[in-house]
Amino acid sequence: MQLTNRSKVVSNKVQSAAEKMYLPGILKGMLITGSHLFKRRATVKYPDELRPIAAIYRGQHVLKRDENGAERCTACGLCALACPAEAITMESAERKKGEEGLYREEKYASIYEINMLRCIFCGLCEDACPKEAIFLTDRIVDVEYEREDFMYGKNKLVEETTKRIDVSKRQTEEVADFKKLPTLKHNELWQGKLIK
């Protein structure tokens, strides 16, 4: 009795001598491999060869300084709140007299950490920041051997005064125009020009 119609008739064809030695299969495989010699390679010889990446690639973050070299971050926590991976932690501190050149706002981040193993490079922290302080860049996060080395603190995130990181390509004219809208008050210190 047949319960379903899904049964299949299995071929009991007797294999030839060539088939017993897998010759047709080997030949077919070699033809497929050989055909790839004439096709464009899908891979690159990384790290000697790098694929071109977009100017707005979302790689390692930078905490920007302002035009005077003071840290722009005011430790408001909005980036941490926006982060879907809960990768950002920080501690705030009050700016002391005489530290105006170091920190732009009265409150600053004494500790600011991003766990690069948690980060999914979505860029929401960049979008959330009202101070134009955090940007993702086209830099790739370094390879590490220890998990704790992926905790990036201010020493790795804040840009060096002598080695500024240009993020102007991330800020298209459309974005600049959007940020200039007076009703949005996105950034009161926005000077209507792209931040370098």
Quick one: which of 120, 103, 95 has its CA closest to 154?
A: 103
CA geometry: angle 92, 84, 70, nearest 5 deg: 35
| Tokens at 195, concatenated | 């931040």
* DSSP run (H or E) holding 127: helix 124-128
Of 28 and 185, which CB lies nearer to ligand SF4 in the complex structure? Answer: 185
Min separation Cβ 129 and ligand SF4, Å: 3
Q: Interface with ligand SF4 includes 62 (CB under 6 A)?
A: no
Peptide linkage before 182 cis (omega within 30 of 0): no
Site residues for ligand SF4, window 115-154 (CB under 6 A)?
119-125, 128-129, 131, 133-134
Q: Interface with ligand SF4 includes 73 (CB under 6 A)?
A: yes
Of 129 and 195, which CB lies nearer to ligand SF4 in the complex structure? Answer: 129
Of 30 and 111, which CB lies nearer to ligand SF4 in the complex structure? Answer: 111
The tokens 């897998």 sit on which residue?
22
Q: Which of 83, 157, 158, 195 binds ligand SF4 (CB under 6 A)?
A: 83
Q: Interface with ligand SF4 includes 167 (CB under 6 A)?
A: no
What are phi and psi for residue 175, nearest 5 degrees? -65, -45
